[in-house]
Structure 1
Amino acid sequence: MLIRQADDADAPAIHALHTAAFRPHNPDVSGELPEARLVDELRGDGDLIPALSLVAVRAGQIVGHSCASPARLGDDPESAIGFGPLGVLPDRQRSGVGSALVHATVGAANALGKSLVVLLGNPAYYSRFGFVLAGTLGITPPVPDWAPHFQALPLAAYTQRNRGEFRYSPAFDRL
């Protein structure tokens, strides 16, 4: 499997991948799924961080995608990123693709000097990568009801000053 930076030509495959990956979780949603639309809107807004929009490729096929976007933590618009969505084709799930994308994203974010990777997701899945509930670090979610699933991973540049209200890129507000 190859992990590489996504490019513009990958957009249709990425959209189809997120649609397939999230359809089982949204059986009552007809038409476009929020996760696929979110990635398209982040791209359209210029808010996909190129070094953190990654595809997993096996035998020439894109089988997974993860992305990250700029975020604001308190008054700091530079230290944290919003991670997600992370999608893997259904027939490739539980084969290490998602884990490889998480590790690659975390490593690249660390290399970029970011202090935190923040996400909304399943704690049982993301805790194995070192993510903790964001509230334990003094980080509050944009929607209070998200707290049980709102997580953060401190990176090398993290300090105790990296706390406060977290705000995703504007595309998240349009969901």
Structure 2
Amino acid sequence: MSDHITFSEAAEVMKDIQALSKLPTDEAATAAREIADRLNNVTLDIAVTGRTGAGKSMFVNAIRGVREGESGAAETGVTETTMEPSMYPHPRMPNVRLWDLPGIGGIKFETKTYFKKIKFDRYDFFIIVSSERFGENDLKLAQEIQKRKKLFYFVRSKIDNDVRAEGRKPKFNLEELLAKIREDCRKT
């Protein structure tokens, strides 16, 4: 059996903490030390998900401070590259595991079978990466995560491509473009 407990098991530990007030002081102190040891072993599984080609693997590499092609880097490419969930340890937080998931809506991972194939319930937290406007698959991901009462962040990637494209227009304003992108993310 692993020494680590999952993030969801940590919620049970919190209930144990609440029960400490009913114990005599010496027993409560011993139990508190045991609980602290258990909490030091909480494993947080973070899934990085989104549409195929959104930059999920690049995001995982950036978070870990690993460059493309380095040993241990998530493979990136211009075609569907990630074919199964791949776990990458966080370099400074040993109990945090980043999972690079295949893209939703690709040939191998159709939306209707995606959640089962990636073992959706395995993850404690989600980061939805999108490289363009928030779309139908992003919405389905967010709804499925919320349905399971889990949390997520939405990350907009490849903004440099938008800046480059918009920069060709005569009245380009970087601050206005970024504000427009932020507002689009908030609306959805």
- Normalised to the residue count of structure 2, the TM-score between the two structures is 0.27
User: Given the two structures, how large is their TM-score scaled by the length of structure 1?
Assistant: 0.29
